[in-house]
């Protein structure tokens, strides 16, 4: 990860004693959890706290598209941010159609 990406993760994890290395392992699929966070719950926390383009930079468009389920979007706070992520999901679905 770049220093910019690591700084973004630090800014989100300030309230827990979880290292950026643990979070990085979770983001890259090399761990199932970082502290009490799963990839889904980490994504929800990040979506509530970081700009969407930072999340795209950390996860990549394909992974963001995969993570942006209805259930995940409903759990993002506040509601105004949910609306933004519904829009992001629609744009990603257009730009990255399923290949099935």
Given this model, what pLDDT does residue 98 score?
A: 83
* Share of residues in the chain with pLDDT > 90 (%): 94
**CA 43 to CA 80: how far, in whole Å?**
17
Per DSSP, the residues of 67-90 read H--HHHHHHSSSHHHHHHHHHHHH
Phi/psi at 18 (5° precision): -125, 130
pLDDT at 87 over 80: yes
The answer, yes or no, to whether residue 88 has pLDDT greater than 90, is yes
The pTM for the full model equals 0.91
Residue 26 has pLDDT above 90, yes or no: yes
Share of the chain above pLDDT 70, in %: 98
- C-alpha span between 4 and 13 (Å, rounded): 14
The domain ranges of the chain are 3-95
Residue-level pLDDT at 95: 93
Among 62, 61, 64, CA closest to 46:
64
Q: Output 100 or 95, whichever has higher pLDDT.
A: 95
Give the span between the Cα atoms of 50 and 28, in whole angstroms: 18
Task: State the pLDDT confidence band at 100, using cuts at 50, 70 and 90.
Answer: low
């Amino acid at each position: 990860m770049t220093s910019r990406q690591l700084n973004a993760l630090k800014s989100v994890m300030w309230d827990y004693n979880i290292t950026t290395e643990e979070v990085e392992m979770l983001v890259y699929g090399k761990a199932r959890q970082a502290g009490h966070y799963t990839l889904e719950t980490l994504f929800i926390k990040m979506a509530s706290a970081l700009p969407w383009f930072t999340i795209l930079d950390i996860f990549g468009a394909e992974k963001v598209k995969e993570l942006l389920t209805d259930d995940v979007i409903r759990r993002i706070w506040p509601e105004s941010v949910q609306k933004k992520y519904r829009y992001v999901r629609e744009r990603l679905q257009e730009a990255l159609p399923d290949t099935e």
